[in-house]
Amino acid sequence: MTNWIDELKKAVEADFDYIKEIRRDLHRHPELAREEFRTQQRIEEELDKLGIPHWRSAETGVVARLSGSRPVPVAWEKEQKPRCLILRADIDALPVQEMHETEYKSEVPGKMHACGHDAHTAALIGTARMLSRRRDLFAGDVYLMWQPGEEIGYGAAVMIEEGQLAFGTRCFGLHMASDIPVGSVVLMPGPNNASVDWFRISVEGVGAHVSTPQKGVDAAYIAAQILIGLQALVSRMSSPMDNLLIGVGKICAGTAYNIVADHAELEGTVRSLDPELRKLTRERMERLASETAEIYGGTAKIEWADYTSVLVNSEGPTAEAQKIATELFGPEKVITFRRPALGGDDMAEFINRVPGCYAYIGSSNPDIPETEVAHHNSSFDIDEKALSVSVLLTSAYALSYMSAEKGEEEGKPAYLYRPDACPCPRGGEVNCPRYRNCSACIRYHRGKETNCFTACERKAMEKSAR
Ligand SMILES: [Zn+2]
Ligand SMILES: [Zn+2]
């Protein structure tokens, strides 16, 4: 293994300026969730230069497929599906005014890459370049996915709904970490990030003059009781050993100082590391809100939005990533345990469907104080050495999982393993006999290795090209 790793390290070093330039360009031009049009274009341009076929996904995202040129090892046939790796990067920025003065400072007022997604995007382009030059080292397909709208819990669910993950047998993603020194990585099995639910509790009362409260139903008072009650669900009804957070960030009620409020609203979030507790908390909150309102003669209802599930790193894939990271960076740089974060990441939805691993890449450097501030802070920045670490880890992980070991018996070429049916679950296409048996589809599947796409992928490519 050491030979190709040394060679890869040198290649990533040589590409550092290329990756850095892309990151800085994206940093100057941040785009919010679901508006990543320029970012999408930049990704597509780089993929075109590399000759990697790609198509659009979730409107402002990009999916690209890179096929290895080695035949699939016979041993893979015993596995349920032929191996297919999904590499994911999130691409959106935040509504924050950048305060840190640098030559690559955001040129868009009120928007900035304050979470490091510019680095994730650039690093995955760097990885595409590494892998595209080493097709002879791996078999099967690697799908590279630039996901939009992570900050609003949007993109992952849409990409899944589109069927982009259909072939995946393994996935990998990463995030910058300003609390970890650059050069180190965190690879921890089990829960890493909390589930995220958004909620709004609307309380309906009856208006009256404040001097005659008995003639009204005070929605402000009911909302206050619910607000207090919510914290009892955390501190009195859940174990202190459990990880549960209920935060109300916004509360409003009433119209004037001398009118009993007929309406009140509480808006907040529930975070948990335990899917069962998450479900139970939802039920308890529904009951608490409606019964509290009832006691005082009002009504309450809760609206929910499921932003993301708990991010649970799969055991096996994480152990493999730890092994590779140890070989790349040395054991002292590989952190295998740290306290999980109550911030969410919708990479969780990918790992929920395809076993995988999500890494934290250290990005802080005490000589650059801005690299040590919290994510989403207006001074946030990274030590750009984290870009090299990201590309190296992702490329090595991909080559290790997708490589055919020397001496392994060779099977069929990868394209013969692709299913005839289009995996797209949209609009009935997955079961549509037109696609299942369509001659065009079969022609693509049996065609030349690099031009072999499912009907849906081909349609998506044609649409993106327009
Ligand atoms: Zn963020
Ligand atoms: Zn983020």
Same-domain check for residues 181 and 319 = yes
Tokens 């230069």 belong to 49
Predicted pLDDT at 167: 82
Residue-range definition of the domain harbouring residue 462? 418-466
Predicted pLDDT at 450: 42
CATH of the domain at 216: 3.30.70.360
Predicted pLDDT at 438: 37
Helix (H, G, I), strand (E, B) or coil at 51: coil
Looking at the CA of 118, name the nearest ligand.
Answer: 2
| Cα separation values, 110 from 32, 92, 117, Å | 10, 14, 16
Same-domain check for residues 219 and 147 = no
Report the alpha-carbon distance of residue 87 to residue 252 in Å, rounded: 42
Burial 315-343 (b: 16+ CB within 10 A, else e): eebbebbbebbbebbeeebbbeeeebbbb
Interval between CA 313 and ligand 1 midpoint (Å): 19
Interval between CA 119 and ligand 2 midpoint (Å): 10
Interval between CA 250 and ligand 2 midpoint (Å): 23
Domain boundary among 249, 283, 308: 308
DSSP type of residue 151? T
CB neighbour list of residue 246: distance below 8 Å, 6 or more residues apart: 230, 231, 233, 234, 268, 269, 270, 281, 285
pTM of the model: 0.88
Interval between CA 151 and ligand 2 midpoint (Å): 7
Interval between CA 103 and ligand 2 midpoint (Å): 22
Predicted pLDDT at 301: 98
CATH of the domain at 135: 3.40.630.10
Ramachandran region of residue 428, left (φ > 0), alpha (ψ -120 to 50) or beta? Answer: left
Interval between CA 116 and ligand 1 midpoint (Å): 8
Same-domain check for residues 253 and 319 = no
CA atoms 158, 161, 163, 166: torsion sign: positive
C-alpha triplet 39, 40, 46: angle, nearest 5°: 90
Interval between CA 319 and ligand 1 midpoint (Å): 26
Residues in the chain: 466
End-to-end CA distance of the chain: 43
Interval between CA 91 and ligand 2 midpoint (Å): 9
Predicted pLDDT at 163: 83
Predicted pLDDT at 321: 98
Same-domain check for residues 65 and 126 = yes
Largest CA distance in the chain: 88
Among residues 6, 12, 23, the alpha carbon closest in space to that of 383 is found at 23
Predicted pLDDT at 146: 98
Ramachandran region of residue 327, left (φ > 0), alpha (ψ -120 to 50) or beta? Answer: alpha
Interval between CA 175 and ligand 1 midpoint (Å): 9
Number of domains in the chain: 3
Interval between CA 175 and ligand 2 midpoint (Å): 7
Same-domain check for residues 175 and 221 = no
Same-domain check for residues 219 and 355 = no
Same-domain check for residues 161 and 221 = no
List strand residue ranges (DSSP E) for 112-168, in order. Answer: 141-147
Burial 279-292 (b: 16+ CB within 10 A, else e): ebbbebbbebbbeb
Predicted pLDDT at 395: 98
Task: Walk across the sheet containing 263-272 and list its strands.
Answer: 244-253, 263-272, 195-204, 299-308
Residues around ion ligand 2, judged by CB within 5 A, are 115
Predicted pLDDT at 443: 35
Interval between CA 341 and ligand 2 midpoint (Å): 12
Same-domain check for residues 220 and 287 = yes
Interval between CA 151 and ligand 1 midpoint (Å): 6
> For strand 195-204 and strand 299-308, is the pairing parallel, antiparallel, or unpaired?
antiparallel
Domain boundary among 253, 284, 308: 308
Is 407 within 8 Å of 68 (Cβ atoms)? no
Interval between CA 85 and ligand 2 midpoint (Å): 22
Domain boundary among 269, 284, 308: 308
CA atoms 61, 65, 66, 68: torsion sign: positive
Same-domain check for residues 140 and 127 = yes
CA atoms 327, 329, 330, 333: torsion sign: negative
Same-domain check for residues 378 and 429 = no
DSSP type of residue 213? G
Please list the ranges in the chain whose pLDDT falls under 70. 1-2, 80-81, 404-408, 411-456, 466
Same-domain check for residues 167 and 72 = yes
Same-domain check for residues 331 and 187 = yes
